[in-house]
Structure 1
């Protein structure tokens, strides 16, 4: 009998071990994306103004793609990473007001890995749609903490969301996002996981804890932009301090992997979403954020997978954000199907083979009405000028007259791409802002997505983190082009401010025939904030602490229409300042 029990225990142990070994064949994935960090904002790429040892170590123990290309601005790069397709194919044409949303018929990298059995999470700046089914929880990420807009107005314990529900952050935002990442790694150490950390710095407003700022506060950069008259030293120092904070948090992530003995089975990627957000040292490249020239779209890119990818390798072959979905699935051995063909290529052979055969290709960088084309040696800019990028990274000498054949080839490729890809983007965006997705409890309806009528003004021209103010008449209103996805009852909360002298306004929310009337009965008049943390004056909106007011329950019917917020009575000089509507499905 004892022998039978012993054999049973042994068999159980072997089965358990085999299962564990099988599970370990699926590598964990961590993708860290910085916001507005240039190619040159790292000590690894040669900038002596800054020290980034933890990010540098990813390159030293992994692979550095020296010519890796993203988009000129934030949301398009995120869309290309998520889908493996050029951003305009997925309906992304702007960075706010709905134009940042990724079309619903696109398959995301999180969808793919979640379907393959991975635990998935994203912590940070989403910037590809707020309301479900555009929300990250509806795009493959089981857990989301952060914000869905393009930028945020306060980095210290700000208003954030967790899976749609409004929450308060805990400390400096990058540290906070990293804390959530560390917790996710700890909770899923025994299962394959896909962790996306889209940090929101060094994007403005320029805020960073004093620990990081002290080093740069009175420092004169030793390396400057090649046209130093353009450079704002305080902005440069602020950005570099924020980058050193990112580096510290990257070190916390890699240290956690070491502590849990997960490093050998985890692929770690680090890159940025566009060129630098100011004129600062960037190895003489032309352009910055917003530009389709080299400096606006060339990003640092590091990938490591100890034991599987040889470390210390520098790859000069051009690559792009659209390559990440096919590359990561190929490395993980995951078979998948997307609804639409990919633009990206798997980089696995470049990573794992010595001198693999690799055909030259064209990578297209587009923003607004500008398109440039890159192949291994040349860049054709938006104006049809050709530059030898191996010898002229500053794009100073147009060689199109001397290289007529190459120029014409690239012009033809550009025209073909524009005729094929840009025509997939409708001339008018008919997508309404979605409300009441049947599978989700919360719907956020921010001022960012609304249209002001009458006297009402937006707090800043950049809408992502704005509120509506100057609501001075009962003829004023705020509207949203909306689509209710399913019938239902919803508990409604409004986020407002109002001075004591103006308390008493009655207002109405209506959609179709349904109306909800409420009244401002309590003053809440906090000051604008943000400037106390800003290292330099900002150009985005200042923020303030808005008060939540439950205004009752509304029953909505499925269909399209206009969601309207208007005042019925106004005893004072204004109704309120408005930031957000929150709908909770009952």
Structure 2
């Protein structure tokens, strides 16, 4: 037996085969679609009578759909959670930017402003594109990324080639063309390699400058000018998703491609201060769905909690890779495990990071959702942007009866407050 094992090791060494490397002939392709600044209500399949999203409606109907998905309330921490499978106080990216004082200190050392952020993010393991690349996948980054280049974070190819805010040159995807994705897929096909596409366009994110043809429809709906532009942007994003899905179908790739969808954080068309950067539902809730024809049964689930932390385990499992035991996320396709989980956690911080080494110094709100109960626990800081809000004291909501959080139940249900606070404290300590 020892000789057989040693022979296997020798063969893997000679042919550079990893024990966990994907079988190119069977490994599915993966497309991760990440909407940018979109409210959870703003889809046809989520009940909107305003937003026109026929492509996402169709794909969602073909998918295992969780309508109660949750993400972080702002983009950079959310994307870091996608890349690492961890909460912000663990992966270390709690906000979009360093504080002014921190930037001065970095410049004094002769370094780029984003250097501490990129180094902190890259210190995590595993990292999604790097792990997929090591398993034999061709990987491609488009759109939003934050802090690092595509190459630094492990993508085989990518559009973001400078460290910075948002994603640099990658932000042209969707707004200008989808061709870079198609070129990458064709290259992967020529190499006979499975592919992973990170499609994270700056859509429907500001600037809200939709094509006039789309905007005209919403200008006749009695909406404010800002809301009309936003909903037209939502439709524009939906069109790009349809173009990408049509490409997969037209090239006979759809059946062997896992499509996963979520938004990075929420938005409110009326800008009422309880959305982006906010721990309230319009800031952190998103639909999350997985389509894998013939492998995942289409189903709509309006009760089970899903988390952004579930994306990495889902992709790893679909690709035949081991899921690290210390990741708290669950494979979205594992219905039994998903339904057994009762709680998820969300963290909200200041937009500007006070101290990379001490996340608690930037903490605005801890959120624990247990079943239909949602507890918001204020942190040490208040929001640092005028367009957002957060509770100044503990708030408790029954999301089933009160989905938009209008009635605080703290004084009526102290036992629930105590129980959820204990859950939150245990999660924070366990995830460090």
Band of TM-score, shorter chain: 0.7 to 0.9
Deviations 1:416-438 (A, max 9, x none): 444566xx6xxxxxxxxxxxxxx
Relative distance call for 1:357 and 1:199 in structure 2 (3 A) is: closer
Q: Where do residues 156-555 of structure 1 align in structure 2 (5 Å cutoff)?
A: 160-161=168-169, 173-176=173-176, 178-189=178-189, 190-221=192-223, 233-279=224-270, 287-335=274-322, 341-350=326-335, 358-368=340-350, 369-382=364-377, 383-418=393-428
Relative distance call for 1:93 and 1:280 in structure 2 (3 A) is: closer
Q: Distance in 2 between matches of 1:200 and 1:86?
A: 23
Q: Distance in 2 between matches of 1:199 and 1:411?
A: 36
The CA deviation at 1:345 is 2.1
Q: Which has the larger radius of gyration?
A: 1
- Structure 1 stretches of 5 or more lacking a match? 1-20, 153-159, 163-168, 222-232, 425-586
Q: SS at the partner of 2:371?
A: coil
Q: SS at the partner of 1:220?
A: coil
Q: Is the 8 A contact 2:288 2:306 kept in 1?
A: no
Q: Which structure ranks higher in relative contact order (CA pairs < 8 Å, sequence separation ≥ 6)? A: 2
Q: Distance in 2 between matches of 1:90 and 1:336?
A: 17
Q: Distance in 1 between matches of 2:277 and 2:289?
A: 23
Q: Is the 8 A contact 2:88 2:347 kept in 1?
A: no
- The corresponding residue for 2:11 is none
Relative distance call for 1:380 and 1:336 in structure 2 (3 A) is: closer
- Structure 2 stretches of 5 or more lacking a match? 1-21, 99-113, 351-363, 378-392
Q: Distance in 2 between matches of 1:417 and 1:407?
A: 15
Q: Distance in 1 between matches of 2:428 and 2:26?
A: 41
The CA deviation at 1:280 is 6.5
Q: SS at the partner of 1:300?
A: strand
Relative distance call for 1:100 and 1:59 in structure 2 (3 A) is: farther
Q: Distance in 2 between matches of 1:357 and 1:45?
A: 21
- The corresponding residue for 2:154 is 140
Q: SS at the partner of 2:176?
A: helix
Quick check: which one's helix share is greater? 2
Q: Is the 8 A contact 2:29 2:196 kept in 1?
A: yes
Q: C-alpha root-mean-square deviation of aligned residues, in Å?
A: 2.6
Q: SS at the partner of 2:78?
A: helix
- The corresponding residue for 1:110 is 129
The CA deviation at 1:207 is 1.5
Q: Is the 8 A contact 2:349 2:365 kept in 1?
A: yes
Q: Is the 8 A contact 1:269 1:302 kept in 2?
A: yes
For normalisation by structure 2, the TM-score amounts to 0.77
Q: Distance in 1 between matches of 2:323 and 2:310?
A: 15
Q: Distance in 2 between matches of 1:407 and 1:195?
A: 41
Q: Does 1:123 align with 2:178?
A: no
Q: Is the 8 A contact 1:372 1:379 kept in 2?
A: yes
The CA deviation at 1:343 is 2.8
